[in-house]
């Protein structure tokens, strides 16, 4: 089990992969989750990519980078699970 907020980001990533794009009231956790799974189409519709990344701030950008670099297997498992649910 990962510590907070890493676990929360991954749970949100799983939810995003199932649910789809974020609305304009997206939280920092949700934005981080979209970056973790590298799905720019899941970012809030009211922000550009750079604006969304900058809205995370240095601390949350570090969490995204840490998950991408050190927990890739967990991210891939989420993506595989979501793809299986979609039938592909």
Per-residue pLDDT of 23-51, as tens digits, reads: 777 899 999 999 999 999 999 888 899 99
CB 43 within 8 A of CB 66: no
Backbone torsion region of residue 82, taken as left when φ is above 0, otherwise alpha when ψ lies between -120 and 50, otherwise beta: alpha
Whether residue 48 has a cis bond before it, omega within 30° of 0: no
Q: Where are the domains of the chain?
A: 6-83
Produce one character per residue of 11-30: b if its CB has 16 or more CB atoms within 10 Å, e if not: ebbbebbeeeebeeebebbb
> What is the pTM (predicted TM-score) of this model?
0.90
The lowest-confidence range among 32-41, 50-59, 77-86 is 77-86
Distance of CA 38 to the CA centre of its chain: 7
């Amino acid at each position: 089990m990962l510590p907070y907020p890493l676990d929360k980001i991954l749970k949100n990533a799983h939810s995003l992969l199932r649910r789809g794009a974020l609305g304009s009231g997206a939280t920092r956790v949700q934005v981080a989750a979209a970056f973790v799974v590298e799905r720019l189409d899941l970012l809030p519709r009211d922000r550009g990519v750079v604006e969304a990344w900058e809205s995370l701030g240095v601390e949350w950008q570090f969490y995204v980078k840490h998950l991408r670099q050190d927990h890739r297997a967990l991210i891939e498992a989420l993506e595989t699970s979501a793809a299986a649910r979609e039938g592909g």
